[in-house]
A and B are shown apart, each in its own frame.
Chain A
Amino acid sequence: MSTYIGFLYKEIIEGLRTKKFLIISVGFIFFALADPVLLKLTPEILKSQAKGMDFSKWIDISQKAAILKFTDDLYQIVSLIIVLTLVGIISSEIKNKTFVFPFSVGSKINGIVLSKFTVYSIFIIVLTQISIYINFVYSKLIFEDSNFYFLHVVRIGIFYGVFFVFLVSLIILFSSFLKNSIVSALCVLGIVYIMPILNNFSDIGKYLPGNVLSIAKKYNNSISKTDIISLTIIFVLIIIFNYVAYRNLSDVEL
């Protein structure tokens, strides 16, 4: 427990001083604000390119479209920002030998893994909620057609939050056994971007972690049996990834 508390303190300072919190926050907030504006301006931009054509009939220009556009960016771009920011979360500490002193005073590996997971998971969950509410409120101001229910936004926030927690655990896993951060980032991004493809092509896809993104976007408040299985699997995977990271680190010579 003392290791966990010590490393919570360290991770928070690190997040602030190394600007990790700031970089990730900028990623979330930028798209939360930029997506509604860009969507609103899209017909005008296209109109100037092809005079006389009314693009507003072809493109959905609404609050709902703005929120869905934001969720797409969360998955495609913000995931990338998170991966690139956190990719050396463990490997850089091994490489830089910064674990030596904490270990020499009795740090426990499980406390280290868990504290890193806790800090970044909580931070990203909170940020997901905040950014989706910002996006919701801002798009409501911009678009006349503002009939998107707040509960749907909450739903999106929760499920995207779960997905990002899964992403953090995946980063921790790869960072625990791959010394090279670039390789580690490519592996994580490969898995993240391949998930929706699997989702489209096979039934198994419904049970893969990427399915929570589809669940999030469902325009109703019900959760099916498949959704529950999918969520259970994602939680089990989060636990397994953290445990495997702990086992990997236990075998590493610092």
Chain B
Amino acid sequence: MIKINNLTKYYKKTKVLDGLNLEINDGEIYGFIGQNGVGKSTTMNILTKIIKFNSGSCFVNHMDILKENIKKLNLGYLPEEPRFYNYMTPKEYLYFIGKICNKNKIDLNLKLNELLKLVKLEKFKNKPIGTFSRGMKQRMGIAVAIYNDPKTIILDEPSSALDPEGRKDVIDIIKELKEKGKTILVSTHILNDIEKICDKIGILKGGKIVIEDNLNNLMKKYIQPIYDIEFEYSIKSHYIKQIEDLDFVEMVRENNNKLSIKINNIEKNGFNLYKKIIDLEILPLSIIQRKNSLEEIFIEVAK
């Protein structure tokens, strides 16, 4: 669980976070999106106690982050660009992390094998991390983030700079973590990934969350009033004229045997459009209401 109330953060005189409010329930995956420099990483660094904040309050797993140390918060963190000691091997690095976490030798070995298997780095466990690709480092970072089996995990751009296969691996790991009931806050620029995994989405702008909802509701809210209708043959021009003449139709665009029809007041007039098409006896092969992708919603909100 994560709860942020009225969070404010200044870098010198620049206000980066301006009364940010956010709430993530247990077991939820929250997609945190926003343009570069809008404060996503700052928020994440505050939650992990890496940087301080000016005002407000933050709770992780029902604990005030100012009152508890990071170990007690039961939190895992993958920074945007995970940095390791490049001369160490994954085995040595996880051993080092395990020592900090006060694990005994048996646990250290069990954890090592379990995590390296999960992030598919077993074969490379004795190679220096410095020789790893960005994707491998990202997976190594996930292994460290979940080392302590944290209840809440913060992932900052986990799939950025990865090839499609690497991205899929990361998405699969996140899905696996969700199945285990973890609460996850994830930021990414790759909105397609967020669509695949997130229960709730928040768009950060001007240091605040400007839109927050689940993906279905967002799609409904930002639905486009356009129907794409496909017919078996090209539509004759007099039929198109009759559709254009309807008072609720704003625009009709023809493309071979397809019509794109923009209407006003979609809830009321969508049915009227269907009715008119049936009345014209030009039965369609398919009628699809055009949906905004998350990317289009994001661009519209971020304008």
Tell me the A residues contacting B by CB distance below 8 Å. Answer: 2-3, 5-7, 9-10, 13-14, 17-18, 96-98, 100-107, 253-254
Contact = CB atoms under 8 A, between A and B. Distances in A.
B83 A105 contact: no
Interface in B76-108: 76-77, 79, 81-85, 87-88, 92, 95-102
Given A18-B87, A104-B75, 8 more contacts: A3-B100, A10-B88, A96-B83, A97-B81, A98-B84, A105-B97, A105-B101, A106-B69
Task: Pick from A9, A98, A101, A103 the residue with the most CB of B within 10 Å.
Answer: A101
Interface of B: 48-52, 69-71, 75-77, 79, 81-85, 87-88, 92, 95-102, 141, 144-145, 147-148
A106 B101 contact: yes
Contact of A106 (B71, B83, B92, B95): B71
B83 A14 contact: no
A120 to B, nearest CB: 16
B100 A100 contact: no
Contact of A104 (B48, B84, B87, B92): B48
Task: Pick from B75, B82, B83, B98 the residue with the most CB of A within 10 Å.
Answer: B83
A13 B93 CA distance: 10
A254 B96 CA distance: 19
Nearest to A16: B87
Contacts of A18: 87
30 contacts: A6-B96, A6-B98, A6-B100, A9-B95, A9-B96, A9-B99, A13-B88, A13-B92, A14-B85, A14-B87, A97-B81, A98-B83, A100-B83, A101-B79, A101-B82, A101-B84, A101-B141, A101-B144, A102-B97, A102-B100, A104-B48, A104-B77, A104-B144, A104-B145, A105-B70, A105-B100, A105-B148, A106-B69, A106-B101, A107-B100
A110 B283 CA distance: 76
Contacts of B51: 253-254
